[in-house]
Amino acid sequence: MFNVQCLSYLCIRMLTKTQAIVLHSLKYGETRLIVDMFTRSYGRLSFIVNIPKSSKAKVKKQLFQPLTLLEIEVDVRQKVQLQKLSDVRLAAPFLSIPFNPHKLSISLFVAEFLYYALRSEQRNELLYDYMESSILWLDGQDGHYANFHLVFLMRLSRFLGFYPNLDDYEAGDYFDLRESVFLPSPPVHRDFLHPEEAQKVQLMMRMDYSTMHLFKMSHEERNRLLEVSLTYYRLHLPDFPEMKSVGVLQELYQ
């Protein structure tokens, strides 16, 4: 019995390497950050990270910018709120996101959105892979990414459990935002889209990053779809707050 307990204890303390996406970082004192990440092996985790003042230090605060893709080594402790990193390095250095004002604004919005949307998300490798591939796609594009944030949000709902059945859609349907269903007549509550907007939403949900540029929208239409998407998530995720980065993103499309 003693040996089994010891082995179990060692397993809990064993260092694990995993991929991670930075969602948010907050300065904590002079030389520390609190960093929230979504990891491939454990889902959402929060870390306390020491940032040495030396310019030669391996761990720099630039590693923890929003949506940075990392490879980390961690000893995950159960019932510990803030984990500690044993090692960290860049998994895929960005080519354009930090240097392109439009992409940077989109990435800050996406990171803030994920920070709130994935508050208690457990291990979900398919979700992680979707997030990672989406970020790399945005970083690698020279153009045709104005609808990226809309397609990202709409397709993300597949992994969170409230993606509608698009096969049910028929021309002229309404979209019930609460129940995630298309209906031939409006529901009794007010959280629904009229047929014109329902048609746009179902069309956007069918698109992917390679085809979304075919969906031409005015600035007003793009901002309206963003508003609809955020309303949709607030109906399905408890306590989803107002986002600070929305205004900056909307200004891109004025």
Taking 50 as the threshold, does the pLDDT of residue 133 lie above it?
yes
Taking 50 as the threshold, does the pLDDT of residue 1 lie above it?
no
Taking 60 as the threshold, does the pLDDT of residue 186 lie above it?
yes
Taking 80 as the threshold, does the pLDDT of residue 169 lie above it?
yes
Q: Give the residue-averaged pLDDT of 212-235.
A: 92
Taking 90 as the threshold, does the pLDDT of residue 179 lie above it?
yes
For residue 197, what pLDDT band results from cuts at 50, 70 and 90? Answer: very high
Taking 70 as the threshold, does the pLDDT of residue 131 lie above it?
yes
What residues does each domain of the chain span? 2-93, 101-252
Taking 60 as the threshold, does the pLDDT of residue 5 lie above it?
no
Query: What is this structure's pTM?
Result: 0.90
Q: Give the residue-averaged pLDDT of 233-243.
A: 93
Topology (CATH) of 2-93: OB fold (Dihydrolipoamide Acetyltransferase, E2P) (2.40.50)
For residue 195, what pLDDT band results from cuts at 50, 70 and 90? Answer: very high
For residue 45, what pLDDT band results from cuts at 50, 70 and 90? Answer: very high
Q: Which CATH number fits domain 101-252: 1.10.3720.10, 1.20.1440.120, 3.40.50.150, 3.40.50.20?
A: 1.20.1440.120
For residue 56, what pLDDT band results from cuts at 50, 70 and 90? Answer: low
- Burial environment of residue 243 by CB neighbours within 10 A (0 to 12, 13 to 18, 19 or more): middle
Retrieve residue 187's tokens.
């529901």
Among candidate residues 97, 119, 120, 123, the one with its CA nearest the CA of residue 109: 97
**Across the chain, what does the average pLDDT equal?**
90
Taking 50 as the threshold, does the pLDDT of residue 193 lie above it?
yes
- The string of pLDDT tens digits covering residues 10-44 is 445 678 999 999 999 999 988 899 999 999 999 99
For the range 56-61, what are the long-range contacts, defined as Cβ-Cβ under 8 Å and sequence gap of 24 or more? 59/85, 59/88, 61/25, 61/33
Percent of the chain with pLDDT over 70: 93
Question: Can you name the residues that pair with 35 across neighbouring β-strands?
Answer: 25, 47
What distances in angstroms separate CA 219 from CA 54, 175, 213, one per listed residue?
46, 22, 14
Q: What would you measure as the largest C-alpha separation in the chain, in angstroms?
A: 68
Position 227: which residue type? Answer: E
Q: Give the residue-averaged pLDDT of 51-67.
A: 82
Q: Quick check: do 2-93 and 101-252 share a fold?
A: no
For residue 55, what pLDDT band results from cuts at 50, 70 and 90? Answer: low
| DSSP label at residue 24 | E
